[in-house]
Structure 1
């Protein structure tokens, strides 16, 4: 077995079973990396990056997804520091570090002097899960979107992303790529919305899924319709469809300061199970 400093080495297709077993130790928190591993077979050409594993006594104990998103997997602070030391040996290519708070913080403490300053940091984001039927009535007007909805859906996706991230996904010529991503989610049946009077007033998407969970992203309500409960009943509808047709558990993470969103998710029945952190460049 080829190893490097601190027992860290790149993983490949031959390591898929070990990686999935590691991910299964916390399958809902790890839904993103589980989805990436299953859909790419850990092949770098499909990953658009690498997945690193850390071995102790020949056993895989932690991993780190290194693509556009850098995501620690079941990493202790010591594991995260080992991954960070490997990361310092290469130029920063990631746009976001995201994952469980303690691992992200430990990683960032090592690389911040070289990789900083970040555009924004969000240090304590509640990670939420729903494992039962929604606690409120679902909005019957929420449905899966189709390609015919794109003229209304795409501007809402751009608005949500810009509001959430502070930067338009179309910046720097990214419109075609982002539009393709929106279409991909629509074609998978992972895009949901409610339309009133010829306009989109609520939307959400599934970002990734595994046999264990589906992670929801992009929850958005038209600004002039906020405060009406559309997010609560809309998320109940999305969660109901997702649990019935995609995966048994629905997860998401939310900014700590977003009180309206947190109240809506709590009303639906989501419960906090972890804290995430995000560092954006």
Structure 2
């Protein structure tokens, strides 16, 4: 049975899904996307993802095509039709299709909406048991990284560098300080404190980041939102990254510098367990 996807108001077989070659997402990367995790057939922390989708659309002047309740209905139906027990729902909204021109098309142009599911192991990911290795790369992205744009070429190149190095993720660096991962939020644990960069236009406001920080505070851990350097990360007691698909992923090596005893740290494992409990795993 073919995977079912959603395109502009219709659930269709994957093979039948089409988008115009004049779509501005294709021509200009003029669009926004979101990804929500699925566990036990249920969406995880989904309303926060939809709120960020709405914010990102507003920041670049694209009309949100659906209210939150309709987004949830469509996602839930897509998960049901594909029988996804564990995995992801991808959502993308572009400014729509119109004759190629840099300026916005007429206001009445309908946004293009695409959604699909991916079956994927997220809760029992073997990488979380052994710990991930990461490399650092220069952050060459634009200056509005707080917008979850489909313009991901810099992240693609960073991921490819990680793949070539045989590691799981790349942490991007600007002026000597870690901004974030190519598809994740970066954390270190030093002096018993959980440290991550404060929100700004320099990085994406991670949804899993926010949930993990809340869980850490509820567990009595101290959170410090501040910049941290690559050198400080090398010397950290523990490190991890968060995302909708990785949840809380322990980091055991950065640029060949082994952290601690080279195994996932106790506090990181605790935070992952707390997140999995919250997600209903």
TM-score, normalised by the number of residues in structure 2: 0.30
Greater percentage in helix = 1
Relative contact order, higher structure (CA 8 A, sep 6+) = 1
TM-score, normalised by the number of residues in structure 1: 0.30
